[in-house]
Amino acid sequence: MAEFSILITSSPFNGDSAMRALAFINGVIANGDKVNNIFFYGDGVYHANSLMLDTGDAFSAYRAWSKLSSEHNVALLVCITAAVKRGIVSQQEADDNGIGFANLQAPFEQAGLGEFFTSLHGCTNLVQF
């Protein structure tokens, strides 16, 4: 069985990369292989913004990632530094800085690059979108 880590660096607003990533991941799972985690880095952290509203019948990256995580128990790790730089904050950060809201919610969780690199030791494949 192959084990995958997925690195998402593209914004959910650029083309269809989120849909392609989700299709790839669903194919990996359907093949009987394992996705250890999905790490959102750079502009990829925008996928974790829980305040993005659905616009009609348009694709909702946030909702799709959340569904994938709950159905297949896949960890959604968000680079804490990249997220904070782009205004994606957890409740703890919001409280510490006097911000009235947090837009980084479960199933997304903060992680550092070190944590992601450590998790790569258990993988046979790294795929970036």
Chain centroid to CA 42 = 11
Which residues does 100 contact at the CB level (< 8 Å), separation at least 6?
Answer: 94
Other C-beta atoms within 10 Å of 129: how many?
A: 17
CA distance 58 to 31: 28
Q: Which residues are catalytic?
A: 79
CA distance 96 to 111: 18
CA distance 41 to 37: 13
